[in-house]
Chains A and B, each alone.
Chain A
Amino acid sequence: MAKVKMTKKSLKIDMAAMCDVSFLLLTFFVMTSTARLPEPVEVNTPASTVQIKLPDTGIATITVADERAYFGAVGQDTRVLMLEKMGSRYGLTFSEQEKQRFSLIESFGVDISELRGLIALDGADRMKPGVQKGIVLDSTSTQLADWIKSAREANAQLLAEKDVPKKERRDLDIAIKGDADEDYPTIKKVIDILQKEGKNNFFLVTGLRGEDF
Chain B
Amino acid sequence: MAELNTAPKGDGKKVRSKKQNPSVDLTAMVDLAFLLITFFILTTTLSKPQSMDLAMPDKDERDKEPQTETPAWRTLTVVLGEDDKIAYYVGSLENPQEGGEPKLTSYGKNGIRQVILDKSKEVRARVTNPEKESLVILIKPSDKSNYKNFVDILDEMAITQEKRYAVMDMTDEDVQMLIEKGAYSE
Point out residues on A near B: beta carbons under 8 Å: 12, 14-16, 18-19, 22-23, 25-26, 29-30, 32-34, 36, 45-54, 64, 175, 177-188, 191, 194-196, 198, 200-209, 212-213
Contact = CB atoms under 8 A, between A and B. Distances in A.
B20 to A, nearest CB: 15
A204 B52 contact: yes
A68 B146 CA distance: 15
Contact of B59 (A16, A25, A36, A195): A195
A115 to B, nearest CB: 26
Given A15-B29, A184-B142, 20 more contacts: A15-B30, A18-B26, A46-B148, A48-B158, A49-B158, A50-B50, A53-B50, A53-B51, A175-B51, A177-B49, A182-B147, A183-B143, A183-B146, A184-B80, A187-B147, A195-B59, A200-B57, A201-B56, A203-B51, A206-B51
Nearest 5 pairs between A and B by C-beta?
A15-B26, A29-B40, A22-B33, A180-B148, A46-B148
Interface residues of B, number: 47
Interface of B: 23, 25-27, 29-30, 33-34, 36-37, 40-41, 43-44, 47-60, 80, 108-109, 141-152, 154-155, 158-159
B157 to A, nearest CB: 10
A204 B151 contact: yes
A53 B147 contact: no
Contacts of B49: 45, 53-54, 177, 205-207
A28 to B, nearest CB: 9
Contacts of A175: 51
A2 to B, nearest CB: 33
Contacts of A45: 49
B167 to A, nearest CB: 8
Contacts, number: 155
A18 to B, nearest CB: 5
Contact of B51 (A54, A184, A212): A54
B108 A205 contact: no
B52 A52 contact: yes
Given A15-B29, A22-B33, A26-B37, A203 B52 contact: yes
A201 B54 contact: yes
B40 A26 contact: yes
Contacts of A194: 56
Nearest to B44: A33
A177 B54 CA distance: 13
Nearest to B157: A50
Most buried by B among A34, A54, A200: A200
Contact of B54 (A23, A33, A202, A213): A202
Contacts of B27: 15
A206 B26 contact: no
B55 A208 contact: no
A181 B146 contact: yes
Nearest to B159: A49
Given A22-B33, A48-B52, A184 B26 contact: no
